[in-house]
Amino acid sequence: MPSLPRHLIGAVALLLAATPAFAQPAAWQLPETPGTPSAAHTADGNVLLARMLDGMEHRVILTAQVRQRIWLGDQETQGEGHYWHQSVGNQRRSRWQLTTLAGGEPISLVQVFDRRHLWTDRRFGDSRRVSRVDLLLLQNELTSRADESSAGMPTLEEAKLLARGGMSQMLAELRRRFTFSPPRQAAVGAGSDAKKTLAMVGQWKPQELARLWYGQPYDPADPPPFDVASWPEQLPHHVVVHCGRTNLFPYLIEFRSAADAASATAVNAVASVARPLARYEFFNEQFAAVMDQQLFQYDPGEVDWTDETSSVVASLLPLEVQPPEEEVALRRRRVR
């Protein structure tokens, strides 16, 4: 099995840094009619996720807080952070800001998209790693490869969504990798904080699972074994997504391990499990707010940084035409 990519769930994996500022997850409720798709909205979960992404792309202003809990084996981390974005289309700018503690060491992550460059600044204790993706260069490289790799490759617009960070990338990654069940009426939170939601279960698309697990194209005539008993510990088995029934805002995303494989098809599949692989909550969302424009500016200063554009381009190409890792590494530039 190849080593799993650093951006296993794309933008969602960026949330693997946060701070223990909260003690309890949001309370969950069972679906109002367990197992019954919502009649008020589309019965197709994939269509609903596409609508969530479209709604996110059309939100001119968004600010929200983030909470997370992550379990790997017996280790649990908790954290929090903030998200901002401004404008739409080619004018979109965004920022994640997240912190946590791990082994007593502070961890922080800042990710800024300034309309052209996606900067990611990770800190762990005294160490620091800064990287950049150039969206214009990415667009040019994908355009030059269009003829040789069009089959199985995202469109140029989809590729930009998958590379520029922010909540849109998070949703675009989910759409790319998972097939979703019909949505069900549910709720997250408790008391005055309760939110009525539509919830759905996402199962891996076999071609994406084969790519991540085995590092090879998926052949439906000779599929590789996806045995739950040998499922990689750090690879989610399935995902549950809750969004607002009216605003379609993603209030909660829960990735589950193979230990909870049976819950994916249970009657109460969208209800909480005791120890998911990761749980992300988004709350205190505002769709009209004044923002400091410096939020969307980033200067690495004197710190060395790495250009990761070639790596991101490679991750978007079909495996059949993906350049060798050695070639990708040679194109990865380190800059001061």
Tell whether 33 is covered by a domain: yes
Among 131-135, 142-146, 187-191, 204-208, whose mean pLDDT is lowest? 142-146
- Do the Cβ atoms of 224 and 210 come closer than 8 Å? yes
Residue 318 pLDDT level (bands cut at 50, 70, 90): confident
Question: What's the average model confidence in pLDDT over 84-96?
Answer: 97
Residue 200 pLDDT level (bands cut at 50, 70, 90): very high
Among 52-66, 154-168, 299-313, 316-330, whose mean pLDDT is lowest? 316-330
Closest CA to 277 of 299, 261, 300, 254: 254
- Do the Cβ atoms of 257 and 276 come closer than 8 Å? yes
| Distance between CA atoms of residues 17 and 27, nearest Å | 22
Closest CA to 242 of 262, 265, 269: 269
**What CATH number is given to the structural domain containing 33?**
2.50.20.10
CA distances from 201 to 100, 124, 180, 238 (A): 28, 33, 6, 7
| pLDDT for 185 beyond 70 | yes
- Top pLDDT among 176 and 193 is at 176
Sign, CA torsion 242/248/249/255: positive
**pLDDT the model gives residue 327:** 59
- Do the Cβ atoms of 182 and 45 come closer than 8 Å? yes
Q: Give the range of the structural domain holding residue 282, as residue numbers without chain letter.
A: 10-335
**pLDDT the model gives residue 326:** 56
**pLDDT the model gives residue 3:** 39
- Amino acid letter, residue 38: S
| Distance between CA atoms of residues 143 and 161, nearest Å | 15
| Distance between CA atoms of residues 97 and 84, nearest Å | 9
Tell whether 60 is covered by a domain: yes
Tell whether 4 is covered by a domain: no
Tokens of 137: 């260069």
Phi, psi for 318 (deg, rounded to 5): -60, 145
User: Residue 292 — left, alpha, or beta (φ > 0 → left; ψ -120 to 50 → alpha)?
Assistant: beta
| pLDDT for 34 beyond 50 | no
**pLDDT the model gives residue 276:** 94
| pLDDT for 133 beyond 80 | yes
- Do the Cβ atoms of 263 and 256 come closer than 8 Å? yes
**pLDDT the model gives residue 41:** 60
Neighbour count for residue 183 (Cβ, 10 Å) = 28
- Amino acid letter, residue 111: Q
Neighbour count for residue 328 (Cβ, 10 Å) = 17
Tell whether 5 is covered by a domain: no
Closest CA to 70 of 8, 17, 149, 145: 17
Tell whether 233 is covered by a domain: yes
| pLDDT for 9 beyond 60 | no
Question: What's the average model confidence in pLDDT over 135-148?
Answer: 87
| Distance between CA atoms of residues 47 and 243, nearest Å | 13
| Mean pLDDT score of the chain | 85
Sign, CA torsion 180/163/305/80: negative
Neighbour count for residue 9 (Cβ, 10 Å) = 23
**pLDDT the model gives residue 123:** 94
Q: What digits encode the pLDDT tens for the residues 228-244?
A: 999 999 999 999 999 99
Report H helices in 201-324: 206-214, 309-316
| pLDDT for 168 beyond 50 | yes
Closest CA to 41 of 57, 55, 30, 27: 55
Please tell me the total count of domains within the chain. Answer: 1
| Distance between CA atoms of residues 322 and 325, nearest Å | 9
Question: What's the average model confidence in pLDDT over 112-128?
Answer: 95
Residue 60 pLDDT level (bands cut at 50, 70, 90): very high
**pLDDT the model gives residue 32:** 42
Tell whether 264 is covered by a domain: yes
DSSP code of residue 323: P
